Amino acid sequence: MQPRLAFAYDPQFTEHVFAAEQLQRLAGLCDILRHEPLLELTSPDARAVLAETEILVTGWGPPLIDAATLATAPKLRLIAHSAGSIKYFIAPEVVERVAVTSAVTANAVPVAEFTVAAILFANKGVLAFRDIYRSERRHLRSHPLMASQLGNYQKTVGIIGASRIGLKTIELLAPYDFELLLTSTSTTPEQAAALGVELVELDELMARSDVASLHAPALPSTRHMIDARRLALLRDGATFINTARGSIVDQDALLRELVAGRLNAVIDVTEPEVLPADSPLYELPNVLLTPHIAGAIGGERERLGTLIVDEVERFVRGEPLLHRVPHELLGQLA
């Protein structure tokens, strides 16, 4: 008898995650109780579905899953999350009692790709050249910027945090002629050497980097970790990239540096999201501001769905999950 499966997420946020091919695979592996996702887990209708559910597939916009939920889902054995972090909707006691797997590794890929593109563009001075070319509309071969230290050869790139995204970014940067620095409390010097990076303290990373890219988790201990003092360590003309979370950065301190024109920035996440309409970040020429798009969007989301269907298949076959969330690491998750 096939295990029974249900979905629980907000469908407006999960378009393109499960392609028709992947839904067909799920149907071949499981008895799908209902194809419409549950939007909540407390109504009599939802409880009736949960009572028979062995595998619950979640995604963006999921309902809260806690001990009370487990009490109404006695057969639940696997929660397969087709998005990133689980910590905002799955209580710790759930992870201790039920296998939980996540597509966070798949979501790390487009964030790392976005970061690499941002690094390459930053080192080439793309924003500055765009504005100069738009204004002067002539050949710029004799422009002083052409004779500056711009370019990607032998630049120093600092990666703040050995998260999945941080590690994937390091992997993608390996072919380039960069000096790579890493600050991480979970990485040993031997591991850093294997990655091809130099392990340094955060202050040293900020002082040496042409580009510093943030990949740390948003925790109480990391709030405003990038503060005015650390931003001041960045050399004039350096670029700061944030695809992590806005709360890790002192936004006022960063804004002061950017308004002064001393630094450049690529900012995909802010606090709050969305910024007030009068925020200078929308207009500053040295800032590339994007609306939290580094993670999977559009067709990239199919990668997440494929990973989750692969995990469900492993579970059904009795094979080890490759992306299981360890309950002992919950406190370190982004």
Per the CB < 8 A criterion, the answer to whether 57 and 7 are in contact is yes
Cβ within 8 Å of residue 149, ≥6 positions away: none
Tell me the C-alpha distance between 119 and 201, whole Å.
21
H or E element that contains 109: helix 104-123
Q: Quick one: DSSP state of residue 267?
A: E
Q: Tell the residue number behind the tokens 């422009």, with chain if given.
A: 143
User: Is 245 one of the catalytic residues?
Assistant: yes
Select which of 4, 208, 245, 301 is catalytic.
245
Per the CB < 8 A criterion, the answer to whether 225 and 254 are in contact is no
Select which of 292, 303, 314, 324 is catalytic.
292
Select which of 96, 136, 273, 319 is catalytic.
273
Quote the tokens at residue 206.
């900020």
User: Is 292 one of the catalytic residues?
Assistant: yes
Residues in the chain: 334
Tell me the C-alpha distance between 213 and 89, whole Å.
28
Collapsed DSSP state (helix, strand, coil) of residue 102: strand
Residue 284's nearest CA partner among 265, 300, 311 is 265
Residue 263's nearest CA partner among 127, 147, 154 is 127
Residue 110's nearest CA partner among 278, 226, 268 is 268
Positions marked active-site: 245, 273, 292
